[in-house]
Structure 1
Amino acid sequence: MKNPLKTYTSPWEGRLILACQKCQKKLKGNDDLHALAKLAKTVKRYNKLHPTKTLEIVNVPCMDLCPKNGVAVCDPCNPLRLSILRSAEDIERLER
């Protein structure tokens, strides 16, 4: 019999969100969308303000959605739907 898969505890707490790295890179030069270009830092600030609803961002390669002035994100709990963040306020909508 083969050995079972080895498992580890995850290094994060809270809800995991996959974010398109290419979308974030395209927003770097836009000062109005700086919060989305640095999504991991923005989420860390969000987590400090909302410690009971923590999120964890994992950057992934392109999701082939490529929204204009936005970042494509995916919630692994609902992998059939991609969401588009167009402002830092949209991060709160991910909790729903």
Structure 2
Amino acid sequence: MKRAKSDWSGALLVCAKCSKKVGGGFGPKGRERLAKALRHEPGFGKGRKAAFGVIEVKCLGLCPKDAVTVVDTRRPGEWLVVPAGSDVAELAGRFS
């Protein structure tokens, strides 16, 4: 088995089903999905060279109304429910 190095200090798991139900709701114009908006923040990305990974997963099973479920892999027991329209920069600062 081979190993691949990564610069990630952690990762965010973002529920794709919640993001789809919200229909965007994030970013400067409110049209981006949460995962994509987070990837635009400094230090976040989906590639191995990002400082913090952002992964969109199929469904996390918690389906809040007008919000997206997010799990920080460093704190798996604490899930976040992020309302549509929340400030992405503020959210990113919480994980830095």
Superposition TM-score tier, normalisation by shorter sequence: 0.5 to 0.7
Change over 3 Å in CA distance of 1:54–1:9 after alignment to 2: same
Residue 24 of structure 1 aligns to a residue in which SS? Answer: helix
Task: Give me the identity figure in percent.
Answer: 27
Which amino acid letter does the alignment assign opposite residue 26 of structure 2?
Answer: H
Residue correspondence of structure 1 range 18-37 to structure 2 within 5 A: 18-28=13-23, 33-35=25-27, 37=32
Larger CA Rg, structure 1 vs 2: 1
Q: Does residue 85 of structure 2 align to residue 90 of structure 1?
A: no
1:39 to 7, 12, 34: 34
Gaps of 5+ in 2: 44-49
Q: Which moved further from structure 2: 39-48 or 64-73? A: 39-48
Q: Offset at 1:80?
A: 1.4
Q: Which has the larger helix fraction? A: 1
Is contact 1:43-1:56 (8 Å) kept?
no
2:4 to 9, 12, 29: 9
Q: Offset at 1:68?
A: 1.7
Q: How high is the TM-score relative to the length of structure 1?
A: 0.66
Gaps of 5+ in 1: 1-5
Residue correspondence of structure 1 range 55-94 to structure 2 within 5 A: 55-86=52-83, 87=86, 88=88, 89-94=90-95
Is contact 1:14-1:55 (8 Å) kept?
yes
Which amino acid letter does the alignment assign opposite residue 93 of structure 2?
Answer: E
Q: Offset at 1:94?
A: 2.8
Aligned residues: 84
Q: How high is the TM-score relative to the length of structure 2?
A: 0.66
